[in-house]
Amino acid sequence: MATRRKRPAPTPPPPEPESTPEDELAPAVAADEIRVRRIHRRDLNRVWEFLKLVFRDVNRQTLEYQRPRSKQRFIEQYEEEGIEQLVFEVDGDIVGYAECAFEVTGSDNWINPRFFESRDMRPLFVEELASHPSYQGRGVGMFMLEQLQHLARVRGCTHLVLEVAENNDSALKFYRKRNFYKLDAAIFLAQKVESEPELLPPRKLERKRDEDEPEDGGDGAAEAG
């Protein structure tokens, strides 16, 4: 596995341009151009809202959430070492987000590092790859993937490794088209169990007895001697 590295200082967002005459304006990035930079603390709220938008429909259909399950956990990841968080923008708007790690991170991670060591694999773990629905089909996903491949090469990694839900058809189609293959599979199984409710069903109230009426409902006859 790759050794733990200090995460580099994040690249701040570009400053707002100063007001200049129109004929002197020369934007550094065209409106139809995508650029990538490392996330900055000031981006956290915007990126979180972006992820909720991207995965809103997918998360309604899949057993496992396809993004961090809480905003708090997402913010904590920003502080962790060994994680790269990249923001992709077009004309200042977030159109993509990628998150990757060079080693297994988190105390609750299910990944077994020995699986890769025994196969002489040095993976770059892709934790998140999200593109804006309005920009899908315009090369955003491919640019993000090429950026991760570039990071893998310069860091000495041999594979990109990611997890995708089996019923996330659009994501599976995207990855399979780009030569991703199944490494291993955890299949969730379910068995229906016939059960009974813990609480008894409603019951009709009994008719109120007269004071002289025996509690056992008998005819009040005396016992034989």
**What HEC string does 137-190 produce?**
CCCHHHHHHHHHHHHHHHCCCCEEEECCCCCCHHHHHHHHHCCCCCCCCCCCCC
Using pLDDT thresholds of 50, 70 and 90, give the confidence band for residue 212: confident
Predicted TM-score of the model (pTM): 0.68
Ranking 21-30, 55-64, 72-81 by mean pLDDT, the lowest is 21-30
Using pLDDT thresholds of 50, 70 and 90, give the confidence band for residue 95: very high
Give 159's strand partners.
123
Using pLDDT thresholds of 50, 70 and 90, give the confidence band for residue 17: very low
- The more confidently predicted of residues 88 and 25 is 88
- The more confidently predicted of residues 164 and 161 is 161
Give 84's strand partners.
100
Asked whether 161 and 115 are in contact (CB, 8 A), the reply is: no
Is pLDDT above 60 for 148? yes
The string of pLDDT tens digits covering residues 121-131 is 999 999 889 99
DSSP 133: G
Using pLDDT thresholds of 50, 70 and 90, give the confidence band for residue 184: confident
Q: In the predicted model, what is the mean pLDDT of the chain? A: 77
In terms of Cβ atoms closer than 10 Å to its own Cβ (0-12, 13-18, 19+), residue 42 is: exposed
Is pLDDT above 70 for 225? no
Q: What is the rounded average pLDDT of the residues 62-81?
A: 76
